Amino acid sequence: MKIAVLTLGCKVNKYESDALIFKLRERGFEAVDTLENADAYIINTCAVTNEAERKSRQMIERCRKFNENARIYVLGCASQNRPMQFEDKGVTFIQGVANKLKIIDHLEDKGVDLYELPLNYEDDMFSAQTLTRAFIKIQDGCNNFCTYCIIPYLRGRSRSRNMESVIGEVEKLPKEVKEVVLVGIDVSSYSSNGNSLIDLLERLDKFNFRLRLSSMEDNLVSEDFVRRLSNLKNFCPHFHLSLQSGCDEVLKKMNRKYTTEDFKRTVELIRRYFPLAGITTDVIVGFPTETEENFKETVKFVEEIEFSDLHIFPYSNRTGTVASKLYKDLPKSVKSKREKVLEEIKKRDKLNFIKKNDIVEILLEEEKDGEFFGYSKNYIKCKIKGDFNVGDIVKAKIVKADLNTSFCEEQ
């Protein structure tokens, strides 16, 4: 029986899907991670925005174009949030966020089973990594309860993986893996038997691969944290710090637990230890209380920080969140206009950041038509020609900066 496991959303979902594929293969199934003809499809859904849920539903129809008689299983955040949205789609079985591997036990079943969200980390997953970059899940859930976000209600409270379990999985990584990315819903909250995230990173630094964090919150970044990071030989200086708004008034309404001044100090601290650090962020435009003046403050702040990249999201009204209960949504046209303003700033600052870099080390992750593609340690996407192999780490000079993929020459 051939089963295609399809993933929407975050890197945590990707890790969980990979673990599911590994377990399916152990049970004797042919399991793939691409949308192709199969006997059955397992769709690992996302609910971070309305659009993400729409794409999750749309994936069902895309599967049926390959095999209209296939059994279709749905699990993840979108089905945890509103399982009924899939019931009228002719789905075979619907499961939520908890116990994702148990979907294998339901391959002959029909119906819905939303397991209770766990209080402790579910340490039953192992993802067989075969690519040059491996995602390792270290944490799940979130305690922040930002007023716009549905995820804490779907994923449950923050819980961390035992540090020895993380190290145990890392020890099993094949030699092809040259970079490890630590992922979670709120990586910053990682805590295991008195050990914090920096303690885990220091333990992992003994291995011979690059270390990268998927994202972090402002409150994690202290002088001690950054100083200890700077002593790691394998750490990749790319910091994804979620901003969401450059206006203190809006941040307070979002229940974000920092001010713009706090955020600015964090950026300055990082750049003191890592002058060419890639600092990327997320910004939500059109939060219901965001006035034109509030947005201008965000524009000014974003221009001041000069991020290396910017992920811009129009506010998505999520039923069940505090914001959806308290505030009226802004017109789509307002959000679109504000998004375009930030897009122009993003392009300018991203290109300027790339131009500040001269010599970079690229991990080659893909080859296509004689060109190799990969990322620098500070997360600049590059391409290079030469006599290389996927998995090589190449020292190169950026000769042509580009918003999508910068061209490099070997040094």
pLDDT by position in tens, the chain (length 411): 999 999 999 999 999 999 999 999 999 999 999 999 999 999 999 999 999 999 999 999 999 999 999 999 999 999 999 999 998 888 999 999 999 999 999 999 999 999 999 999 989 888 877 789 999 999 999 999 999 999 999 999 999 999 999 999 999 999 999 999 999 999 999 999 999 999 999 999 999 999 999 999 999 999 999 999 999 999 999 999 999 999 999 999 999 999 999 999 999 999 999 999 999 999 999 999 999 999 999 999 999 999 999 999 999 999 999 999 999 999 999 999 999 999 999 999 999 999 999 999 999 999 999 999 999 999 999 999 999 999 999 999 999 999 999 999 999
d(CA 399, CA 215): 29
Residue whose token pair is 């980390």: 121
| Topology of domain 133-356, CATH | pyruvate-formate lyase- activating enzyme (3.80.30)
Q: What is the pLDDT of residue 4?
A: 98
Q: What is the pLDDT of residue 89?
A: 87
The token pair at 2 is 């051939």
d(CA 71, CA 93): 9
Q: Residue 144: which residues within 8 A CB-CB, separation 6 or more?
A: 152, 186, 217, 255, 257
Q: What is the pLDDT of residue 86?
A: 94
Phi and psi at 235, nearest 5°, equal -70, 135
Coil, strand or helix: which one is 202? helix
* Chain Cα centroid distance, residue 340: 23
Q: Which residues make up the CATH 2.40.50.140 domain(s) of the chain?
A: 359-410
Q: Which residues make up the CATH 3.40.50.12160 domain(s) of the chain?
A: 2-113
Q: What is the pLDDT of residue 127?
A: 80
Q: Which residues make up the CATH 3.80.30.20 domain(s) of the chain?
A: 133-356
Surface-to-core class of residue 328, CB atoms within 10 Å of its CB (0-12 exposed, 13-18 middle, 19+ buried): exposed
- Start-to-end CA distance of the chain, whole Å, equals 49
CATH (residue range 2-113) = 3.40.50.12160
CATH (residue range 359-410) = 2.40.50.140
Q: Residue 221: which residues within 8 A CB-CB, separation 6 or more?
A: 239, 241, 266, 269, 270
Q: What is the pLDDT of residue 168?
A: 95
Q: What is the pLDDT of residue 99?
A: 94
The token pair at 237 is 């200086």
List, in sequence order, the alpha helices (H) in 8-49. Answer: 11-26
Cβ proximity of 245 and 221 under 8 Å: no
Angle between helices 260-273 and 292-305 (to 10 degrees): 10
Q: What is the pLDDT of residue 128?
A: 72
Q: Residue 318: which residues within 8 A CB-CB, separation 6 or more?
A: 47, 49, 50, 148, 149, 150, 324
Q: What is the pLDDT of residue 5?
A: 97
d(CA 54, CA 180): 31
Q: Which of 230, 350, 374 is nearest to 281 (CA)?
A: 350
